[in-house]
Amino acid sequence: MTNSAQYGLPNNSGDARRDYPAFLDGRVRPMLIGGEWVPSLSGKSFESRNPANGELLATIAEGDSADIDRAVLAARKAFDGPWRTMKPDERQMILLRLADLVERHFDELSLLDTLDMGAPLRHTRGSKRHMVGLLRYFASMAVSLYGQTSSTSLGGELFACTLKEPVGVVGAIVPWNGPLMAAIWKTGPVLATGCTLVLKPAEDASLTPLRFGELLLEAGVPPGVVNIVPGFGATAGAALAAHTGVDKVSFTGSHLTGQQIVRASAGNLKRLSLELGGKSPNIVFADADLEVAASAAATAAFANAGQICSAGTRLFIQRPVFDEVVEAVARAARGLKVGAGLDEQTDIGPLVSRKQLDRVSGYLRAGREEGARALAGGERLDGDAHRNGFFVPPTVFTDIRDDMRIAQEEIFGPVVAAIPFDTLDEVVERANATPYGLGAGVWTRDVGRAHALAPRIRAGSVWVNCYNTMDPSMPFGGYKMSGYGRESGTQQLDDYLNVKALWIRRD
């Protein structure tokens, strides 16, 4: 079993610089373009700091529109070059080698995730099976792409079939709440389908994607097939979204930025996949296993400090068991340890940045001002153990009205609004009464009720007696303002392929 001592880190969150991975060697981390590690053309850079204590981790080359332009040119050159004719089994072998490398270096990758964006080691380490599995799933898909023949009504002298072809150069803009996961989700389908990629990591968490880039080269990804340009959304991200040399953009982030990307894509009508925000309902019926449901509800709301797009942040509890369940969730919240991610005992790490701390703190204040009552948490933590980081305790609000901001808007912090309900029809209406539709949970022993309820909830994923369960074979994405397109599953691969109709006259 991996533990922090492997890197010389004691179990109480010691984090002396000498104990960090060799990747954090003090050099300015360059960007990956055309198979080479290069500085930004402007010479600019930005800092990456540990959100638990403010310590400088690394300085990173800051890409802008000029760097995006040369990365897109490199991706186009690679797409039009030998990569275009590489056989499916050759792409499969690259993905399998990459999976092996990620598995071998996962301790380091998970540690970088923890240092850079704050999630506890137990969280970042726990996703190993899923992330390696994603790469191996994409490897299997590389040799499973096929078109169809068609029996047309035009007679036997015409043969008709469809071909699936890579869409071309893909621009991917990813968030900071799961840096390695985001990099894998965007890179896997590119390699499987034969596209090429320009990846723009989040400025708040670029270290793991850059280390992942080193593993891509080690796995044998040809020059220019994957390019990684760190930078800020307003410069590098905007340039990538609008670039006419990009055939598709895959974006994960807020719905406001998603709307900007839709507008920017109009220049060449590029294809889009948008995995956006959520305000997911988690519904507990009186007949559920209440102990299991309450424990899972706490995890659904507070995991990764609530910085999960599908977090179960609206907890609907049937009225006869409301007090019992909400107190159990509050008790669980009060028992979670908030601290530095390197501490093996930490349950909830810091928020990623000062900006995010201010945002979440603003929602805590708004909840109180609108009349909500905090059964747990409710105020940022700034005692001696938390003063230099961005810490908010798990918070459970009650006395909620559906029109409150904390019941309608995505907070992206460890905050849950607990709401009583009476009937199935009522909870369906209230669960759907937000602009979002990413995920939903249902807790009941009544299988018939679960089957009746699931189709009526407008969300891309509905989990019954579980929450946030994922597998590489199952699609993940949203309805409404939660976006369109899917991650994982065969549905994701379809978003990276064009379908061509081929007609051949026999005589």
Give the pLDDT band (50/70/90) at residue 359: very high
* 177 within a domain of the structure (yes/no): yes
* 477 within a domain of the structure (yes/no): no
Give the pLDDT band (50/70/90) at residue 349: very high
* CATH number, domain containing residue 419: 3.40.309.10
> Can you tell me the distance from the alpha carbon of 335 to that of 338, in angstroms, rounded to the nearest whole number?
9
* 7 within a domain of the structure (yes/no): no
* 156 within a domain of the structure (yes/no): yes
Q: Are residues 211 and 296 in the same domain?
A: no
**Residue 15, pLDDT score:** 43
Q: Are residues 490 and 418 in the same domain?
A: no
* 162 within a domain of the structure (yes/no): yes
Q: Are residues 247 and 378 in the same domain?
A: no
Q: Are residues 286 and 248 in the same domain?
A: no
203 catalytic residue (yes or no): no
Give the pLDDT band (50/70/90) at residue 6: very low
What is the strand order of the sheet 271-275 is part of? 36-38, 31-33, 226-228, 196-200, 169-173, 248-252, 271-275, 483-484
- Out of 62, 108, 203, 275, pick the active-site residue: 275
> Can you tell me the distance from the alpha carbon of 61 to that of 24, in angstroms, rounded to the nearest whole number?
14
Q: Are residues 257 and 307 in the same domain?
A: no
> Can you tell me the distance from the alpha carbon of 74 to that of 242, in angstroms, rounded to the nearest whole number?
17
**Residue 4, pLDDT score:** 38
Give the pLDDT band (50/70/90) at residue 384: confident
Q: Are residues 294 and 437 in the same domain?
A: yes
Average pLDDT on 230-249 reads 98
**Residue 155, pLDDT score:** 79
Of 495, 503, 507, the closest CA to residue 152 belongs to 503
> Whole domain around residue 394: which residue ranges?
281-472
Percent of the chain clearing pLDDT 90 (strictly above) = 92
* CATH number, domain containing residue 180: 3.40.605.10
> Can you tell me the distance from the alpha carbon of 333 to that of 326, in angstroms, rounded to the nearest whole number?
10
Give the pLDDT band (50/70/90) at residue 385: confident
275 catalytic residue (yes or no): yes
Average pLDDT on 3-18 reads 41
* 189 within a domain of the structure (yes/no): yes
**Residue 387, pLDDT score:** 86
Q: Are residues 378 and 440 in the same domain?
A: yes
Alpha-carbon dihedral 363, 366, 372, 376, rounded to 10 degrees: 40
- Out of 62, 108, 309, 487, pick the active-site residue: 309
Higher pLDDT, 272 or 19: 272
Give the pLDDT band (50/70/90) at residue 382: confident
Q: Are residues 368 and 248 in the same domain?
A: no
Average pLDDT on 55-83 reads 97
> Can you tell me the distance from the alpha carbon of 421 to that of 286, in angstroms, rounded to the nearest whole number?
10
Please give the mean pLDDT across all residues of the chain.
Answer: 94
The structure's pTM equals: 0.94
Considering its fold, how many domains does the chain have in total?
2
Average pLDDT on 318-334 reads 98
* 217 within a domain of the structure (yes/no): yes
* 160 within a domain of the structure (yes/no): yes
Helix (H) or strand (E) holding 498: strand 497-505
Give the pLDDT band (50/70/90) at residue 2: very low
Helix (H) or strand (E) holding 226: strand 226-228
Q: Are residues 244 and 295 in the same domain?
A: no
Q: Are residues 270 and 320 in the same domain?
A: no
Q: Are residues 57 and 197 in the same domain?
A: yes
Of 365, 104, 416, 63, the closest CA to residue 240 belongs to 63
**What tens digit of pLDDT does each residue of 138-182 get?**
999 999 999 999 988 887 789 999 999 999 999 999 999 999 999
**What tens digit of pLDDT does each residue of 449-494 get?**
999 999 999 999 999 999 999 999 999 999 999 999 999 999 999 9
Q: Report the amino acid identity of residue 207.
A: L
> Can you tell me the distance from the alpha carbon of 360 to that of 372, in angstroms, rounded to the nearest whole number?
15
What secondary structure does DSSP assign to 389-434, as a single string?
Answer: S-B---EEEES--TTSHHHHS---SSEEEEEEE--HHHHHHHHT-S
Q: Are residues 253 and 323 in the same domain?
A: no
Beta bridge partner(s), residue 172:
199, 250
**Residue 1, pLDDT score:** 30
